[in-house]
Chain A
């Protein structure tokens, strides 16, 4: 089973990027295999159970220009520690490593990271991130 999951916090600016991608894939592209994650990272383990191919959308901060799209294969190696995916105690890196160690990591896991510009309080995406999401959604239409 293939599944895509969007992560983030809708109240923290660009941190909502992954959620927004998943939401638009559902509503604009009619994708039923896409999940808008609700926030509990341990729940991500359950969402990956039974899948052999998972794509995760999330905001990332690595120092690259805002709106940069990073494609990272998490199947065989841990996510780079130079990138920050989460402000929470149990972040995406930790959760994927927990999945790997407990034998719950799908055969293929790919991360689509959107470089965040501003993750302060607020409901707005920065223009750079909004444009990056537009490009991804447009690509999904032609995929």
Chain B
């Protein structure tokens, strides 16, 4: 087969894939909206169980990681390959920080018996069951995307090492960036919807 390369095609392809991800989370956002509308008080009270400080820290961590991967693309385009790789490692490190925070956060909820299927949760109101069900489903699916995004970035680093991604050929890096920003974008909405219910 002949070598066929079309950067614009792969960029459009990445965007289209991002659209499917938006709609995937979109289904959960619809469920969230309906149940919050039907259980406003329970959602408010359950939301106060979440730690705003950890949530805000994780928000900032993800925002910074988005900036670092965006800067990694800039660095690569300017031919600063080593700087680009370093910025990518910083992004992965921030992803790890996010996951560690998430681990402690989820761990605390489990200790309090607030996890799907627990007898304690079932003893609470229906709104609480729905809130924590959605909380674990949505942040869990989001965390899964963090892992996928981090693996994607690792692949890009390997490709840079192999010389398959460089200053005139960086579409793969840009696609990893787009995917990572999507993960950030979803968190931007998850944060106020779960941690900041008034």
A and B: interacting chains: no
* A interface residues (Cβ-Cβ under 8 A, vs B): none
* B interface residues (Cβ-Cβ under 8 A, vs A): none
